[in-house]
Structure 1
Amino acid sequence: MATSSPLLLFCGLAFAVLLASTAADPGLVDKVCKQTPDYKFCSDALNSDPRTPGADRITLAYVAFGLAYRNASSTQRRITSLLRNSTGPVHQHLEQCRGDYATAIAKIQEALANLDSETYAGLDVLASKAGDRADDCESAFEGTKSPLTDSNKVLKGLSEICVAVAHLFS
């Protein structure tokens, strides 16, 4: 008759708990999006990634922060392109936005690195700071039409999604 050692029993229980804590939650997108100001934007954004159906909170965090990173990087490339053909105050505003987006990208990269190292504390702060940079960029154009309004709104919205996802870890 075989007997189980306490260590094997403990390892088995620990593995079961680990699986349960990272298992997919079919209601996760709904739970996250209900915490954002724009449920439809959130749902559409998260569901644009094929990893979302059946995702656990870690995968969903990678999806959200990945979307924010791609958006911010694309906007930064657009800013660089706009700078080539701008002058005067618009050029100055775009320069500020280039710095704002560099900071946003750095915060998102830091969040992704934290996910890689399984350090989940502070993800909400990093996401919030990235969104704040979109607000700062938009504010730079006060009194002038911003060519980046739509991009700033998207980054702000994605940052809000990232904050909501980060709350899954607290």
Structure 2
Amino acid sequence: MKTPMLFAILSFAQILLIAFLPFASADLVDDTCKKTPYSNFCVSALRSDRRSATAYTATLGLIMVDKVDANAEVTLAKIQDLLRGSPNPGTKQALTFCEGSYKFARSELVPSSKDSFTGSVYKFAVDNMKRAASQASECEAGFGGKSPLSDSNDYENKAASVASAIASLLL
């Protein structure tokens, strides 16, 4: 008779946990994002990833680093398309600079930041993501005005800035 009662209590506890865990995680997303420079962007970006529903703060940082990487990948493809279109020399020079910046972000800054978040050495993620944000801003500035990469550069700057801010919360 005790076994069915224990089973019922455990089942009820499991239902409560499943029902309330997403709300607790949503609070973590909200609380974390309020401490970043682009809080609305942060909330939107994190909630679009199902991993955030059960994430700890470090995982939220990893999600943002993944967003930086995914945006860089798409941006590099866009740069390649623009370079194939035989742009004028000034535009070609700016695109080539941006290409180098985004390749560096994907090959060095993102992997190092992921290692930093998973290895609990958050200082490197702070610095690397600040650098990625800065490079996106420099890419935009290289066009001397509105570039064909404005949306991508803006997204990269915001995502990297948020990832850096999340890492700094963990220091």
Q: TM-score category by the smaller chain?
A: 0.7 to 0.9
Cross-structure match for 1:104: 105
For residues 155 and 117 of structure 1, the distance between their equivalents in structure 2, rounded to whole angstroms, comes to 24
Matched to 1:139, the amino acid is A
* Within-5 A mapping of 1:45-64: 45-64=45-64
For residues 105 and 31 of structure 2, the distance between their equivalents in structure 1, rounded to whole angstroms, comes to 25
Shift of residue 26 of structure 1?
A: 4.8
Cross-structure match for 1:167: 168
* Within-5 A mapping of 1:3-82: 26-82=26-82
What is the aligned counterpart of 1:141 among 143, 147, 164? 143
Matched to 1:165, the amino acid is I
Matched to 1:167, the amino acid is S
Shift of residue 65 of structure 1?
A: 0.7
Matched to 1:95, the amino acid is T
Cross-structure match for 1:114: 116
Matched to 1:65, the amino acid is V
Matched to 2:57, the amino acid is R
User: Deviations along 1:147-169, whole A, 9 cap, x unmatched?
Assistant: 00010000001011101210231
TM-score (norm 1): 0.78
Structure 1: tracts of 5 or more residues without a match:
1-23
Q: Counting helix residues as a fraction of each chain, which structure ranks higher?
A: 2
Cross-structure match for 2:127: 125
- Is contact 1:104–1:131 with CA below 8 Å preserved after alignment? no
Cross-structure match for 1:92: 93
TM-score (norm 2): 0.78
For residues 38 and 113 of structure 1, the distance between their equivalents in structure 2, rounded to whole angstroms, comes to 24
Structure-2 change in CA distance of 1:164 and 1:99 (3 Å): same
User: Deviations along 1:24-58, whole A, 9 cap, x unmatched?
Assistant: 75532122211233322111001110010131122
For residues 31 and 104 of structure 2, the distance between their equivalents in structure 1, rounded to whole angstroms, comes to 29
- Is contact 2:36–2:162 with CA below 8 Å preserved after alignment? yes
- Taking only the aligned residue pairs, the percentage that are identical comes to 34
User: Deviations along 1:130-152, whole A, 9 cap, x unmatched?
Assistant: 00010110010014x41000100
For residues 152 and 136 of structure 1, the distance between their equivalents in structure 2, rounded to whole angstroms, comes to 9
Matched to 2:99, the amino acid is R
Shift of residue 80 of structure 1?
A: 1.3
For residues 39 and 32 of structure 2, the distance between their equivalents in structure 1, rounded to whole angstroms, comes to 9
Greater than 4 Å deviation, 4+ residue runs: none
Q: Does the residue aligned with 2:121 lie in a helix, a strand or coil?
A: coil
